[in-house]
Amino acid sequence: MPELARTLPASWYCSLPLYQLERRAVFMKSWYLLGPVTKFQNVGEKIEYEIAQQPILAFRASGSSPLPEPGEFQVIRAKTESPLRYHITPTGLIFATLSDETPSFHEYFPDLEPLLQRVDFTRLPYRHSIKYEGRFNWKTMVDGYQECLHCQYTHPSFSVYYPPTFYTVHNHQNFSQHIADPNKPDDGLFLYFFPNCTLNVYGGGMSSFRVCPTEDPNITRMEFDYYHMESGEKFEEYFKFVRQVAMEDYELCEKAQDNLGRGVYSEGILNPEKENGSTRTGYLSWCASNMPQITPTLLALLAGIAFLYRFWPHSLASTPKLSNPKTSDTLSSIPDVAKEENRGVSKESDFPAGWWVSKDVFELEKRAIFSKTWLCLSHRSRFAKVGDYQSYEVAGFPIFLILGKDGKVRAFHNVCRHRAYTVTKKECGSSAVLGCRYHGWSYNTYGELTKAPHFDDIPGFDRSQNSLFAIHAVTNGAGFVFVNLDASPRISSADTSLLDAFASNNRLDSQSLWVAGQTIKANFNWKMAFRSKQLIDFAKLENAIEQKSYLSQVTSILKHFRANSEHFSLFPFTSFHTIKRTGWWCALSFISVSEQKTAIRYDLYCSKEDSSSFQLVADKLAELVEERARELETEYQEYKNILDCLEAHVKLEKAQGAEVFPAMRKPRENSRFQQAEQLCKELDCKSELRGKDLVW
CATH number at residue 455: 2.102.10.10
pLDDT digits (tens, 9 = 90+) for 643-661: 778 778 888 888 888 888 8
Report the percentage of the chain scoring pLDDT > 90. 55
Burial class (CB in 10 A: 0-12, 13-18, 19+), 482: buried
* Cβ proximity of 569 and 334 under 8 Å: yes
Which amino acid belongs to residue 49? Y
Least confident of 1-15, 16-30, 38-52, 157-171: 157-171
Residue 319 has pLDDT above 70, yes or no: no
Residues 435 and 509 in one domain: no
**Does residue 680 sit within a domain?**
no
**Does residue 594 sit within a domain?**
yes
Residue 337 has pLDDT above 50, yes or no: no
Give the integer Cα–Cα distance in Å for 362 and 288.
42
Banded model confidence at residue 356, pLDDT cuts 50, 70, 90: confident
Supply the pLDDT for residue 550. Answer: 45
Per-residue DSSP letters for 290-349? TGGGS-HHHHHHHHHHHHHHTTS-TTSTTPPPPSS-----TTSPPP-GGGGGGPPP-SS-
* Cβ proximity of 424 and 432 under 8 Å: no
**Does residue 669 sit within a domain?**
no
* Cβ proximity of 97 and 66 under 8 Å: no
pLDDT digits (tens, 9 = 90+) for 265-287: 999 999 988 888 776 665 655 55
Kindly state the greatest CA–CA separation across the chain: 96
Residue 153 has pLDDT above 70, yes or no: yes
Give the integer Cα–Cα distance in Å for 266 and 252.
18
Angle at alpha carbon of residue 471, lines to 468 and 477, rounded to 5°:
130
Q: How far is CA 682 from CA 655, 676, 679, 689, in A?
A: 21, 10, 5, 11
Give the integer Cα–Cα distance in Å for 221 and 203.
26
Q: Which residues of 388-410 are buried (b: 16+ CB within 10 A; e: fewer)?
A: bbbbbbbbbbbbbbbbbeeeebb
Give me the mean pLDDT over the 101-118 stretch.
95
Supply the pLDDT for residue 279. Answer: 67
Give me the mean pLDDT over the 540-566 stretch.
60
Q: Are strands 470-475 and 168-172 parallel, antiparallel or unpaired?
A: unpaired
Residue 39 has pLDDT above 50, yes or no: yes
Residues 520 and 475 in one domain: no
Residue 430 has pLDDT above 70, yes or no: yes
Give me the mean pLDDT over the 595-612 stretch.
83
Supply the pLDDT for residue 609. Answer: 58
Supply the pLDDT for residue 87. Answer: 97
Question: What 8-state DSSP symbol labels residue 619?
Answer: H
Residues 501 and 462 in one domain: no
Residues 502 and 471 in one domain: no
Q: Helices marked H in 534-608 — which ranges? A: 538-547, 552-557
Report the percentage of the chain scoring pLDDT > 70. 80
Give the integer Cα–Cα distance in Å for 516 and 550.
20
Residues 279 and 366 in one domain: no
Residue 304 has pLDDT above 70, yes or no: no
User: In terms of residue numbers, what domain contains 387?
Assistant: 355-488
* Cβ proximity of 211 and 13 under 8 Å: no
Q: Coil, helix or strand for 431? A: coil
CA-based end-to-end distance of the chain: 79
Listed residues 578, 611, 630: the one ending a domain? 630
Helices 138-145 and 279-289 sit at what angle, rounded to 10 degrees? 100
**Does residue 124 sit within a domain?**
yes
Give 645 or 74, the one with higher predicted confidence: 74
Residue 306 has pLDDT above 70, yes or no: no
Residues 260 and 134 in one domain: yes
Residue 127 has pLDDT above 50, yes or no: yes
Least confident of 187-201, 351-365, 497-511, 573-587: 351-365
- How far is residue 299 CA from its own chain's centroid? 29
Residues 30 and 167 in one domain: yes
**Does residue 178 sit within a domain?**
yes
* Dihedrals phi, psi of 246, to nearest 5 degrees: -65, -40
Residue 498 has pLDDT above 80, yes or no: yes
Per-residue DSSP letters for 188-200? -EEEEETTTEEEE
Q: Coil, helix or strand for 595? A: coil
Q: CB count, 10 Å around CB of 256?
A: 25
CATH number for the domain harbouring residue 580: 3.30.310
Per-residue DSSP letters for 635-667? HHHHHHHHHHHHHHHHHHHHHHTS---TTSPPP
The 3 state secondary structure assigned to 243-278 is HHHHHHHHHHHHHHHHHHCCCCCCCCECCCCCCCCC
Give the integer Cα–Cα distance in Å for 15 and 13.
6
Give me the mean pLDDT over the 397-407 stretch.
97
Least confident of 503-507, 530-534, 576-580: 530-534
Give 644 or 573, the one with higher predicted confidence: 573
**Does residue 693 sit within a domain?**
no
Give the integer Cα–Cα distance in Å for 178 and 170.
6
Question: What 8-state DSSP symbol labels residue 367?
Answer: I
Q: How much is the pTM? A: 0.81
CATH number for the domain harbouring residue 177: 3.90.380
Closest C-alpha among 521, 522, 520, 524 to residue 638: 524
Listed residues 488, 516, 531: the one ending a domain? 488
Residue 122 has pLDDT above 80, yes or no: yes
Residues 477 and 523 in one domain: no
**Does residue 33 sit within a domain?**
yes
Give 694 or 126, the one with higher predicted confidence: 126
Give the integer Cα–Cα distance in Å for 237 and 231.
10
Residues 185 and 79 in one domain: yes
Residues 162 and 137 in one domain: yes
- Count of structural domains within the chain: 3
**Does residue 85 sit within a domain?**
yes
Q: Count of residues for the chain?
A: 696
Listed residues 488, 517, 540: the one ending a domain? 488
Closest C-alpha among 426, 391, 132, 397 to residue 253: 132
Give the integer Cα–Cα distance in Å for 292 and 564.
80
Give me the mean pLDDT over the 407-435 stretch.
96
Residues 181 and 36 in one domain: yes
Residues 253 and 153 in one domain: yes
Supply the pLDDT for residue 104. Answer: 96
Banded model confidence at residue 663, pLDDT cuts 50, 70, 90: confident
Give me the mean pLDDT over the 400-420 stretch.
97
Closest C-alpha among 585, 586, 607 to residue 511: 607
Burial class (CB in 10 A: 0-12, 13-18, 19+), 659: exposed
Supply the pLDDT for residue 157. Answer: 80
Give 310 or 56, the one with higher predicted confidence: 56
Banded model confidence at residue 473, pLDDT cuts 50, 70, 90: very high
* Dihedrals phi, psi of 404, to nearest 5 degrees: -85, 170
Give me the mean pLDDT over the 128-154 stretch.
92
Q: How far is CA 25 from CA 18, 234, 385, 686, in A?
A: 10, 42, 55, 47
Banded model confidence at residue 167, pLDDT cuts 50, 70, 90: confident
Give me the mean pLDDT over the 323-349 stretch.
42
pLDDT digits (tens, 9 = 90+) for 82-94: 999 999 999 999 9
